[in-house]
């Protein structure tokens, strides 16, 4: 294929037969679906039959590395994995980081489709054109760090390694696939690889990538880089990454405990988990390729109970939020050790800690008893959490229930209203702290509890209505004719704003741009269309790019419509309609609109959803794309 910016190849691997083929990438996919995320959706629609089981040999694992991967465009490392999620039954696209996408592309492939099931453990080696399904008998059973260490020893430090741990091998539903130690293809795909006996994928790419109009492309890239270097917050990002928002999240009430019923005491949160502890263990910053403000970190612990512990973290506040606050470890070092153990075993630490919090709550209330737990007392603390972590990874005892995820816990013990989950996964953002696009997208996204936090637009309350109209106008993703429907003098219509915000997030996904603020804030619609045009040689204006993004998102929605996901699944957790207690503040937090003008009921939320579906051009009753919308987007004949 002549189009530049992509290399024009899809790698196809069959683990059953051992066949490896290279197929051309259809140029039309670039024209209609922009890149990685969108092209993955198109390939998935063709390859995933409605009703297919997540764990059957013909269920494809579709990897995508597109459009800006492998170029110097700032903050563009994202790669994608699309397949069916065993825990929820949804067709899900998860986002990877670190060097996987760049390596795949530099090896000569935009996308990779893996099917089949090996008879014994294997790993896939891709060294440019040297591709081989290799024996992984000596790697099976090893943890994430050991596996990555060994494959990097064999293939060099510049290789990218995506692998699963023992939990994925045991087909744990909440097992996670790691990339280069700390990136992930989250949040529950490791069992899909474990079923296939595919331990890892290691890639070395040396070919590089060529763009169509180099001077034009680099002119825009240099402008973005200069702007990034002038960012007054850049140094804070490279010093503390997402720990720089600790004070904001602490005061806002995002740090919760007691099964999402209470905000962790603000003073205690700072004393036990504050930035001073992060500063004590931080050794160096780690970044993805092309990141101009890296924010992943290598920790080393010196002295104390965990002397000598070394670990890498992508989101450094996660250990404190998960095992620390949710599970009552009440010690920064212990929380980090537990988080590292989960990572090594290949478990999703955030979901596991939420499940432990839920079951501990049910145990305290007598709903779960020692008869259910084989005599284990589910009480907060280090020892209980460690036992449950190990049991879940091994899929043994009570851990075998946790290993299946929220749906299994609710099915076995009831009390669905106590499970703070959306389509089987706990949300990252609590709408009681701030009901904005981040919380709302986690409800309406086809992927379970998947927020799309581009730049942290509404993470914190306190911004004036005029701020949002100004920012959105500068980025350009709300068409002028829709501005009056979306914005008013005293605020915005959240449902309608989200409908357009998702299109912008989809463009960044298709281009491979990271959502974190230091990266995504550099881009707007004009820059995105200019980079696409300069990279590919396919000239697109801003409006055309928005239409392509809308087409890609509608197709992604259709993938899950075929699996039975309609409006009834776009549901706020019951927990969000309960007060979030703040005993240290002497007040409760309740669900309100962003500007805290009105307490919201379930009926109010349904009206917000009506506005969202209407702005999308979808059927309000069902929440599904209409035939008219599909015709408008050039998707006729797609069965909705």
Helices 602-616, 437-444: axis angle to 10 degrees equals 80
- b/e per residue, 393-422, with b = 16+ CB within 10 A? bbbebbbebbbbbbbbbbeebeeeebbbbb
Q: In sequence order, what are the residues at sequence separation of 6 or more whose Cβ sits closer than 8 angstroms to the Cβ of residue 323?
A: 329, 334, 335, 338, 339, 342, 349, 353, 385
SS3 label, residue 608: helix
Pick among 3.20.20.10, 3.60.9.10, 3.40.50.1950, 3.40.50.300: CATH of 9-204: 3.60.9.10
Q: Report how far residue 218's alpha carbon sits from residue 222's, in angstroms, rounded to the nearest whole number.
A: 6
- pLDDT value of residue 455: 80
- pLDDT value of residue 469: 94
Start-to-end Cα distance in the chain? 32
Q: Name the least confident of 6-10, 94-98, 176-180, 192-196.
A: 6-10
- pLDDT value of residue 87: 86
Q: Could you tell me the two tokens for 615?
A: 């702005």
- pLDDT value of residue 637: 63
**What is the pTM (predicted TM-score) of this model?**
0.95
Highest mean pLDDT among 142-146, 503-507, 561-565: 142-146
pLDDT digits (tens, 9 = 90+) for 502-540: 999 999 988 888 888 788 888 999 999 999 999 998 899
Mean pLDDT across the stretch 577-599? 95
Indicate if the pLDDT at residue 636 is higher than 80: no
- pLDDT value of residue 640: 41
Share of the chain above pLDDT 90, in %: 79
pLDDT digits (tens, 9 = 90+) for 442-462: 999 998 888 888 888 898 898
- pLDDT value of residue 3: 56
Mean pLDDT across the stretch 299-320? 94
CATH 1.10.599.10 domain position(s) in the chain = 437-632
Indicate if the pLDDT at residue 1 is higher than 50: no
Indicate if the pLDDT at residue 90 is higher than 80: yes
Cβ atoms within 10 Å, residue 13: 21
Reported in sequence order, the residue ranges of 78-216 that DSSP labels E, i.e. its strands, are 79-84, 91-96, 111-115, 122-127, 130-135, 160-163, 177-179, 183-185, 198-204
- pLDDT value of residue 243: 92
Mean pLDDT across the stretch 351-379? 96
- b/e per residue, 273-309, with b = 16+ CB within 10 A? bbbebbeebbeebbbbbbbbbbbbbbbebeeeebeeb
Q: Report how far residue 198's alpha carbon sits from residue 184's, in angstroms, rounded to the nearest whole number.
A: 16
Indicate if the pLDDT at residue 146 is higher than 60: yes
Cβ atoms within 10 Å, residue 451: 22
Q: In sequence order, what are the residues at sequence separation of 6 or more whose Cβ sits closer than 8 angstroms to the Cβ of residue 373?
A: 363, 397, 398
pLDDT digits (tens, 9 = 90+) for 311-347: 999 999 999 999 999 999 999 999 999 999 999 999 9
- pLDDT value of residue 619: 95
CA angle 118, 124, 128 (to 5 degrees): 145
> For residues 9 and 519, is the Cβ–Cβ distance under 8 A?
no
- pLDDT value of residue 4: 66
Indicate if the pLDDT at residue 25 is higher than 80: yes
CATH 1.10.569.10 domain position(s) in the chain = 251-418
In the Cβ-directed half-sphere of 6, how many Cα atoms lie within 13 Å?
Answer: 32
> For residues 224 and 522, is the Cβ–Cβ distance under 8 A?
yes
- pLDDT value of residue 127: 97
- Which CATH code fits 251-418? 1.10.569.10
Indicate if the pLDDT at residue 33 is higher than 50: yes
- pLDDT value of residue 242: 86
CATH 3.60.9.10 domain position(s) in the chain = 9-204
pLDDT digits (tens, 9 = 90+) for 185-232: 877 789 999 999 999 999 999 998 899 999 999 999 999 999 888 888
Query: For the chain, how big is the Rg over CA atoms in Å?
Result: 23
Q: Sorting pLDDT into bands at 50, 70 and 90, what band is 27?
A: confident
pLDDT digits (tens, 9 = 90+) for 110-143: 999 999 999 999 999 999 999 999 999 999 999 9
Q: Report how far residue 113's alpha carbon sits from residue 11's, in angstroms, rounded to the nearest whole number.
A: 6
User: What's the whole-number average pLDDT of the chain?
Assistant: 93
Mean pLDDT across the stretch 619-625? 95
**Which class is 437-632 in CATH?**
mainly alpha
């Amino acid at each position: 294929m002549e189009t530049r910016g992509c290399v024009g190849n899809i790698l196809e691997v069959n683990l059953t037969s051992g066949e490896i083929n290279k197929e051309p990438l259809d140029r039309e996919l670039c024209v209609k679906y922009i890149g990685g995320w969108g092209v993955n959706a198109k390939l998935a629609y063709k390859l995933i039959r409605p009703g297919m089981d997540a764990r059957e040999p013909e269920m494809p694992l579709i990897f995508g590395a597109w459009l800006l991967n492998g170029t110097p465009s700032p903050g563009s490392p994202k790669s994608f994995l699309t397949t069916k999620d065993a825990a929820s039954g949804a067709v899900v696209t998860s986002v990877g980081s670190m060097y996987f996408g760049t390596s795949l592309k530099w090896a000569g492939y935009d996308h990779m489709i893996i099917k089949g099931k090996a008879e014994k453990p294997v790993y896939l080696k891709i060294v440019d054109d040297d591709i081989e399904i290799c024996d992984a008998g000596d790697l099976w059973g090893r943890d994430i760090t050991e596996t990555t260490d060994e494959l990097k020893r064999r293939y060099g430090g510049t290789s990218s390694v995506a692998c699963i741990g023992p939990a994925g091998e045991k087909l744990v539903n909440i097992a996670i696939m790691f990339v280069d130690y700390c990136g992930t293809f989250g949040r529950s795909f490791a069992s899909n690889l474990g079923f296939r006996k595919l331990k890892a994928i290691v890639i070395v790419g040396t070919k590089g990538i060529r763009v169509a109009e180099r001077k034009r492309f680099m002119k825009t890239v240099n402008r973005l880089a200069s702007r990034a270097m002038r960012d007054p917050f850049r140094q804070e990002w490279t010093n503390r990454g997402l720990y720089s928002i600790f004070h904001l999240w602490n005061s806002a009430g995002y740090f919760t405990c007691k099964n999402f019923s209470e905000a962790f005491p603000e003073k205690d949160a700072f004393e036990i988990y504050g930035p001073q502890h992060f500063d004590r263990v931080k050794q160096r910053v780690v970044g993805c390729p092309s990141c101009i403000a890296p924010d992943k970190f290598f920790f080393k612990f010196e002295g104390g109970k965990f002397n000598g512990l070394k670990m890498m973290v992508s989101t450094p506040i996660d250990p404190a939020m998960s095992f620390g606050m949710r599970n009552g470890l009440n010690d920064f070092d212990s929380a980090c050790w537990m988080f590292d153990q989960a990572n090594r075993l290949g478990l999703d630490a955030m979901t596991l800690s939420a499940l432990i919090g839920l079951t501990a709550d049910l145990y305290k209330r007598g709903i779960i008893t020692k008869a259910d737990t084989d005599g284990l007392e589910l009480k907060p603390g280090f020892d209980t959490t460690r036992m449950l972590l190990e049991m879940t990874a091994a899929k043994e005892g009570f851990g075998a229930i946790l290993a299946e995820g929220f749906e299994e816990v609710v099915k076995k013990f009831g009390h669905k209203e106590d499970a703070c989950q959306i389509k089987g996964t706990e949300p990252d953002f609590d709408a009681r702290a701030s009901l904005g696009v981040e919380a709302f997208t986690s409800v309406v996204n086809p992927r379970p509890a998947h927020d799309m936090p581009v730049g942290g637009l509404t993470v914190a309350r306190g911004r004036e209505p005029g701020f949002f109209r100004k920012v959105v106008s500068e980025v350009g993703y709300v068409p002028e004719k829709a501005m009056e429907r979306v914005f008013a003098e005293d605020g915005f219509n959240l449902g309608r704003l989200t409908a357009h915000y998702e299109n912008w997030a989809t463009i960044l996904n298709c281009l491979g741009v990271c959502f974190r603020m230091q990266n995504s804030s550099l881009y707007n619609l004009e820059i995105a269309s200019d980079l696409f045009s300069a990279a590919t040689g396919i000239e697109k204006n801003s409006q055309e790019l928005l239409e392509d993004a809308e087409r890609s998102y509608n197709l992604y929605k259709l993938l899950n419509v075929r699996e039975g996901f309609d409006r009834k699944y776009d549901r706020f957790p019951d927990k969000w309609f309960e007060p979030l207690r703040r005993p240290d503040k002497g007040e409760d937090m309740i669900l309100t609109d962003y500007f805290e003008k009105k307490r919201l009921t379930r009926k109010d939320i349904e009206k917000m959803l009506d506005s969202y579906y209407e702005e999308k051009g979808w059927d309000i009753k069902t929440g599904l794309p209409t035939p008219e919308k599909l015709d408008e987007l050039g998707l006729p004949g797609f069965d909705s």
